[in-house]
Amino acid sequence: MATILVVEDNPRNLKLAAFLLRKEGHEVLEAADARAGIELARRYRPPLVLMDIQLAGTDGLSAARTLKSDPFLSNSKVYALTALAMKGDEENIRAAGCDGYIAKPIRYREFLQTVAAALSSGDGAPTSQQSE
């Protein structure tokens, strides 16, 4: 079981993600905006951050970039959890530095599978991202 940070400005969607993750036995850190999210990430260094992209204030993409360029967070994966689900969105989001992509609306089984997969391959994060 792992610590997972969810950065999500929609309280209901935050509640859903947190519920599902806790149901799986994970410890969940909740942040309603990018700034709070970055702060929590730096303090707790969670192996996985689920990041909403369209956030008020600092958007999720630049927050993801900030986290990915932080040398103390090299073991944290950042997955986009976003309603930007049109063709090309995933490519753009991955190109911006996110390690994974989950489209809303989520189906909880897939969501949990993706989370599990992200955590299980967590020790050996791709070298390309570490050598940045």
Question: Using CB under 8 A as the criterion, which residues of the chain lie in contact with other proteins when the complex forms?
Answer: 10, 12-13, 15-16, 19-20, 23, 54, 83-87, 103-110, 113
Residues 45 and 104: their CA atoms lie apart, in Å, by 25
Residue whose CB is less far from other proteins, 69 or 113: 113
Which CB sits closer to other proteins, 17 or 73? Answer: 17
- Min separation Cβ 70 and other proteins, Å: 28
Distance CA 19, CA 17 (A): 5
Report the distance separating Cα 116 and Cα 97, nearest Å: 20
Rounded to the nearest whole angstrom, what is the least distance from the CB of residue 36 to other proteins in the complex?
Answer: 19
Cβ-based nearer residue to other proteins, 12 or 127? 12
How wide is the angle at C-alpha 117 spanned by C-alphas 14 and 8, nearest 5°? 15
